[in-house]
Every structure is written in C-alpha cells, then in structure tokens.
Amino acid sequence: MTPVIAIHGGAGAISRADMSAEKEQEYQQALRRIVEAGQAVLAAGGSAMDAVTEAVRLLEDCPLFNAGHGAVLTSAATHELDASVMDGATLRTGAVAMVDCVRNPILAARRVMEQSKHVLFVGEGAVAFAREQGLELVDPSYFTTEARRQQLERVQREHPDAAVLDHDGQAIVSRGQPAPADPLDADRKFGTVGAVAVDARGNLAAATSTGGITNKQVGRVGDSPLIGAGCYANNRTCAISATGTGEMFIRMVAAYDVSARMEYLGESLAQAADCVVNKKLPTIDGKGGLIAVDAQGNVALPFNTEGMYRGYGRVGEDAVVAIYR
C-alpha cells in the first residue's frame, strides 16, 4: 500500500476574473504545503489519523480558509467552530461543535475520540473538556480577521436576514467596491476544510473542520461535526470529508452514503462519490463537494460547484493541487 492523503479547503463559485495571479498562487502554495506535511507524516510511518489531524490543524491555522484563524462570524459577530474525526479501523469518532476559544477544534475532536466515552461535545461542555485535556485556549478575537469582519458587515448591510453559506445565491458585494480578491468568491464559497488518508497499513481516517457560515443564527450547526454527514471513515470502504450546503449534506447523510453505495451496491469509489455529489445532492439543491480515498488508495475529488480548493499526494510523489475544474 502506497499511503496517500487528500485535503480540501472549501468549494464554491469562481471569481477568476477579479483575482490576481499572486492571490491564486498564495492559495496553491498553502494547499501544496499542507499536502506535503501530510505526506511527511505518512512517509515517516505515521497513521492515517495522525496525517489527517496534522493537515486539518494546519488548515485551521491558515487564515485563507474558514476554520480556526480566519473563521467567519455569526450574526452576533461571534465565532462558533465545529470539527470531527473518524478512525476507519475502529469506527471510533470524536467531534466538537460551537466552540469559541479552542485554538484547534480538530485536536479537541480527536481528544474526544481518544479520551472520552462520548462522541460529541458542544458549547461550554466542549470548551471545558478541551481545558481538562490541556489543549491551547485563545481569546475569541484570535479567530477574527479583517476580511471576515468586512464580509459580515457587507452581508448585514446588503441582506441583513441572509445567512451566507459562502456559496449559494448572489455574491453580496457593495456597489463601487471591488469583488473579493479570492479565487473562489468569498460570498459564494462553502467554508469548510478537511483531510482523508490511507496509511501503509491500509487504515483509513477522515477529519473535517469549519468556522460555519457568515451571519448564521447563533447556535446553528452544520454537517462538519456530524459523523455520516460531513465526515466518515470505514476500512471496509472509504474515508470522506465533505464541504457544501451543510443542511443538505445532513439530509442526504452524504458522507455515509458514499460508503454505503460501495459496500451494498459494489460501486467503485469514483462511482459512489460521483453519484452522491452530482446526482443525489442536486435533487435537493445541495451544492459542494467532497474528498475521498478508499482502502486500495484510490482518490476521488468530485464537486458540483465551479471550483473547490483541493489537493492530494502519494508518498514518494509530487503533491497535486487545484482550484478550478
């Protein structure tokens, strides 16, 4: 088995005409750097769980993506972060939701899996658990960037009742102001990050993390911390991390559906992932994509939007990264 890791940083509509070559390169360099970090973990004999945890931790620390530092703001100008992990060898899982001061929610999710008898902690209980585990806590202002604050102000000014899922509907940009300098339009982008991997022992793992959606109602939770919706791993089939309209991925149990199609219908990874993303989700206006690897090391990266930040790398080979179709 040649180990492989795949990552995503969200999907959505392309604003290529308004984007500088420098900005596109910045995103590609970040994706490549993080894929290579995951490859290094796998090359050193690390587990798939170690690789996806490290990749998502780095994505959370990168302000270009909507997770951790650089997370979007709720309608109350606060942060509510979610994350989950799943181990395909044991089917053990861990998740946290609505945390506002845990620097790396993905580390908290892994501790839930490894150090508790539960699967999901939320809000104050999740923060208390992270504190007990000695994880780094930060002031909530750590997650805020000026770009995200401006995004919230723009949404509240133009469409005060809208929760912008970084993806769907019209881009909300003030007249006379330049469009977001982002390869994917910041107001039409699904802001989630994730990683999936298979290691040299054939074990699979998945991890997903998000800052939520701009101007969302306080307390809303999407698919990212929900096992089977935004994250799933099973050594019998595949590992999945999703990004998209969270409510639709929850309704479709999208991540698990890919695995179920492989196990019960005998579909290949590519067939199952394509069916869920390009046939089933669109029936309820579900937009976004997912990254997937199977127990044989195959990789699938389908999306039904104009672009998706994505990359993958096999141990011993150069990383491959892309934004557009």
Closest CA to 60 of 48, 68, 71: 68
> Is 222 annotated as contributing to ligand binding?
yes
Three-class DSSP category at 46: coil
Query: First-to-last CA distance in the chain?
Result: 29
Q: Find out whether 10 and 290 touch, Cβ atoms under 8 Å.
A: no
**Residue linked to tokens 């939007």:** 305
How is 271-303 classified by DSSP, letter by letter? HHHHHIIIIIGGGGT--EEEEEEETT--EE--B
Exposure b/e, 69-94, CB count within 10 A at least 16 = b: bbbbbbbeeebbbbbbbbbbbeeebb
> Is 274 annotated as contributing to ligand binding?
no
Cβ of 265: how many Cβ atoms within 10 Å?
10
pLDDT tens for the 325 residues of the chain, in order: 899 999 999 998 877 766 688 889 999 999 999 999 999 999 999 999 999 999 999 999 999 999 999 999 998 999 999 999 999 999 999 999 999 999 999 999 999 999 999 999 999 999 999 999 999 999 999 999 998 988 888 888 886 666 654 433 224 433 334 444 678 777 777 789 999 999 999 999 999 999 998 888 999 999 999 999 999 999 999 999 999 999 999 999 999 999 999 999 999 999 999 999 999 999 999 999 999 999 999 999 999 999 999 999 999 999 999 999 8
Q: Find out whether 261 and 272 touch, Cβ atoms under 8 Å.
A: yes
Q: Find out whether 135 and 103 touch, Cβ atoms under 8 Å.
A: yes
> Is 297 annotated as contributing to ligand binding?
no
> Is 245 annotated as contributing to ligand binding?
yes
pTM for the predicted model, two decimal places: 0.93
> Is 221 annotated as contributing to ligand binding?
yes
In the chain, the domains with their CATH numbers are: 4-144+182-324 (3.60.20.30)
> Is 182 annotated as contributing to ligand binding?
no
- HSE of 260, CA atoms in CB hemisphere, 13 A: 10
Cβ of 224: how many Cβ atoms within 10 Å?
32
Question: Which residue among 192, 208, 214, 305 is the active-site one?
Answer: 192
> Is 244 annotated as contributing to ligand binding?
yes
Q: Has 192 been annotated as catalytic?
A: yes
User: Who's near 283: CB < 8 A, 6+ residues apart?
Assistant: none
